[in-house]
Amino acid sequence: MAAAYDVLIIGGGPGGYVTAIRSAQLGFKTAVVEREHLGGICLNWGCIPTKALLRSAEIYHYLQHPKDYGLIVEGKIGVDPAAVVKRSRGVSAQLNGGVGFLLKKNKVDVIWGEATITKVGEVSVTATKKSIMQPQNPVPKGILGEGTYQAKHIVVATGARPRILPGIEPDGKNIWTYFEAMVPESFPKSLIVMGSGAIGIEFASFYHTMGAEVTVVEVLPQIMPVEDPEIAGLARKQFEKQGIKIRTGTKVTKVEKTASGLTATLEDSKGATSTLSAEKLISAVGVTGNIENIGLEKLGVKTERGIVVVDGFGRTNVAGIYAIGDVAGPPMLAHKAEHEGVICVEAIKGLHPHPMDKSMIPGCTYCQPQVASVGLTEEKAKAAGYEIKVGRFPFVGNGKAIALGEPDGLIKTIFDAKTGKLIGAHMIGAEVTELIQGFVIAMNLETTEEELIHTVFPHPTLSEMMHESVLDAYGRVIHM
C-alpha cells in the first residue's frame, strides 16, 4: 500500500524544506522528495558557497591594502585556490547537514529520488539517474526511496537551472556555468562574464579581486538591469575604477576554442562586431524553471515561458497541485521561495495569510561594493503615475563609513508625495545587503515618512544614512 501524506513537496531546496517545516508545524503529515542534496542550488551551489568565496576575496582585498588602515603586513600575500574552494564547500556541507537535522526534528519524511506526479494526489518516485549539481558525495540513500506515494496536496518546488544560449553551451572546461565557476582547479588569468545580473556581477567581482582580467558583457544598455539606473550607474563607475571592463548593449554571438582558452565574437547594438579572447567564459544569462518530466503537462497544469502559473497562494489551475519558488517565476530568490512556501501551506490550512506581494521582496548583490533594493525604482514609480519625492544620502557624509574606510556609496529613498508612503529604497555601498531589511520592514508596516523621520537611529552606524536619505526627500537633511 502506498504511503499517504497530507502535504508532499517535490524539491528540498530553500522553498521546499521551509515549506515542509511549516507544514509539519501546522500538523500536516509531510514529506519532501529530493533527488540529490537537501538545501538545493542555493545552499549547495548558489547563495551560500558564493558568499563564502566572496568573503575570501574580501579578506584578500584588505590584505593587499594594509597601509590604508595603518597596518604592516610582511611577507608574500597569495591565494590558494584549492583552499578557497574547500572552505566554500565546507560551509555548504555544514548547512546541508543542518537542513537534514531540521527536517528530522520536525518529523518530516525525506524521500530520495526523482518524482513524477502520475495523477492528482499521487507521486511516483524513481532512483536518481543523473546528478545535475555535481555533488561532492554520492546521492544519499534513505529508508524512503523508490515507490508510489499518496498526498492530498502536492507542492512543486523544483527550482531552476542555468539558462543556456544556443551555440554557447557550457563544456565544463572553457565555458562555465555557476557550477564550474564555484569549484575551479585554478583561477583564470582572464575571464569573460556573459550577463550582468546578480550571478554574473558577483563572479566578476570575485575573480577580479583574485587577480583575473575580467570583462562583463551585457546585452542591455544597463548593467544590473533590475536595479535603479542611478544605482547601477554608480556601480558601473566603481567596477570600472577597480579595473573591471564592461561592455553594455553588446551580445556574444559566437565562441571559438583556442589553444589558450577561447575567443568570443561580440556584436554591439549598432551591429558592429569585435572579438575578445580569454581563458574562460562564465555564462550567467539567467535561469529557467525545472518544469519538465514532473508530469505537469499530462495533468494540464498551466505553464508560461518555462514557469508554472500560480496565484498569490501558490495554487495552480489544477486543484491539489501547487508551485513555489523559482519554478513559479521571478524574482528567483531563495527568500522569495521560502516565504511563498509558508504562504502556500498556511493557505492550505485555512489560516488566511496575505498573498505574496512581490513589490516587497528585497534583492541583494554581494559584489564590491554591495547593491541592495526593494520596491519601485525612480523610473518605474514615475511610469506608474506616482508623484514622488526622492531622497539621497552619500556614504562620504557618514562617520561610520569613513571610519571603516568605505566612503563610496549612496542610499536612495522614494516616497509617494501625496501620502508619504515609502515605495522604494535603493542602496550601494558597504553592508547595504544588511541595511535594506530596515526599509523592507517599513514598507510592510505601511510606514510613511513621518514615522521614519521620528525614528531614532543609533550613532555611529551606517543605518544613520537611511534616516538622512528620508530627511533629504523632505528637505530636512542634516549632515549634507
The secondary structure of 158-225 as a DSSP string is --EEE---TT----SSSEE-HHHHTS-SS--SEEEEE--SHHHHHHHHHHHHTT-EEEEE-SSSSSST
Domain(s) labelled CATH 3.50.50.60 in the chain stretch across: 3-161+288-358, 175-285
Do residues 182 and 50 lie in contact, with contact meaning Cβ atoms separated by under 8 Å? yes
Sign of the CA dihedral with 450 first, then 451, 454, and 455 last: negative
Query: Rounded to an integer, what distance in angstroms lies between the CA atom of residue 232 and that of residue 236?
Result: 6
Do residues 227 and 211 lie in contact, with contact meaning Cβ atoms separated by under 8 Å? no
**∠ CA(364), CA(209), CA(252), 5° rounding?**
75
Would you call 434 helix, strand, or coil by DSSP?
helix
Q: Which CATH superfamily is domain 175-285 in?
A: FAD/NAD(P)-binding domain (3.50.50.60)
Q: Which CATH superfamily is domain 3-161+288-358 in?
A: FAD/NAD(P)-binding domain (3.50.50.60)
Q: Which residues are catalytic?
A: 459
In words, the CATH class of domain 369-473 is: alpha beta
Do residues 250 and 267 lie in contact, with contact meaning Cβ atoms separated by under 8 Å? yes
pTM metric for this prediction = 0.94
pLDDT tens track, the chain, 480 positions: 467 999 999 999 999 999 999 999 999 999 999 998 899 988 888 899 999 999 999 999 999 999 999 999 988 899 999 999 999 999 999 998 899 999 999 999 999 999 999 999 999 999 988 665 554 444 455 467 889 999 999 999 999 999 999 989 999 899 999 999 999 999 999 999 999 999 999 999 999 999 999 999 999 999 999 999 999 999 999 999 999 999 999 999 999 999 999 999 999 999 999 999 999 999 999 999 999 999 999 999 999 999 999 999 999 999 999 999 999 999 999 999 999 999 999 999 999 999 999 999 999 999 999 999 999 999 999 999 999 999 999 999 999 999 999 999 999 999 999 999 999 999 999 999 999 999 999 999 999 999 999 999 999 999 999 999 999 999 999 999
Residue the block writes with cell 510592510: 444
Residue 13 burial (CB count, 10 A)? 33
Domain(s) labelled CATH 3.30.390.30 in the chain stretch across: 369-473
